[in-house]
């Protein structure tokens, strides 16, 4: 039997298939997921599970280098924005117009994880990274400055 927190086999597979710079969106219950897209549907009932609960679980298994949220989230849903900012304090945070989350970025997302959240501006996009401490751990390899920052950020996350 698998060790770890996440038991949903489809979600485990989705996380395992993420490559460097791939996008995974954890979306609210009403997000219009494109037909034919890779969807992991975790929604059970209103707010169960909520976006933040799913983010906390995924954060333990996925290397995240960037988090993208609608810029409106900071003003109109400050509790979620604060939770996301705190949870991924080691990753770059990018705010984009909500219309971009609904159009341009939607077409670039590899995996959609549907929550049960009824959450205004509740969609959170995670950009997958590489585990920089492991990529540069061989003797003689040298991490460029931008990877050195990621190494420090990931190491501080694990402390």
Decide if pLDDT at 108 tops 70: yes
Average pLDDT of the segment spanning 104-112: 97
Chain segment 137-151, per-residue pLDDT in tens: 888 888 787 777 776
Mark 90-120 as b/e (b = at least 16 C-beta within 10 Å). bbeeeeeebeebeeebbeebbbbbbbbbebe
Q: Please state whether 121 falls in left (phi above 0), alpha (psi between -120 and 50) or beta.
A: left
Which pLDDT band holds residue 13 (cuts at 50, 70, 90)? very high
Provide the whole-model pTM. Answer: 0.90
Give the residue extent of every domain in the chain. 9-128
Which residues are identified as catalytic? 20
- Side-chain half-sphere exposure of 45, counting CA atoms within 13 A: 0
Decide if pLDDT at 84 tops 90: yes
Topology of domain 9-128, per CATH?
Answer: RbsD-like fold (3.40.1650)
Chain segment 125-140, per-residue pLDDT in tens: 999 998 877 777 888 8
Provide the token pair at 148: 């050195």
């Amino acid at each position: 039997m698998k060790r770890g927190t996440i038991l949903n086999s489809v979600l485990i597979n989705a996380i395992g298939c993420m490559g460097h710079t791939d996008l995974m969106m954890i979306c609210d219950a009403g997000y219009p997921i494109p037909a034919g897209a890779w969807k992991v549907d975790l929604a059970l009932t209103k707010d169960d599970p909520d976006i933040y609960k799913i983010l906390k679980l995924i954060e333990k298994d996925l290397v995240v280098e960037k988090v993208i949220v609608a810029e409106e989230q900071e003003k109109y849903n400050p509790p979620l924005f604060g939770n996301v900012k705190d949870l991924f304090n080691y990753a770059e945070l990018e705010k984009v117009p909500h219309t971009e989350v609904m159009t341009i970025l939607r077409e670039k997302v590899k995996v959609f994880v549907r929550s049960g959240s009824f959450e205004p501006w509740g969609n959170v996009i995670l950009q997958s990274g590489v585990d920089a401490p492991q990529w540069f751990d061989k003797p003689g390899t040298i991490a460029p400055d931008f990877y050195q920052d990621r190494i420090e950020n990931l190491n501080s996350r694990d402390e």
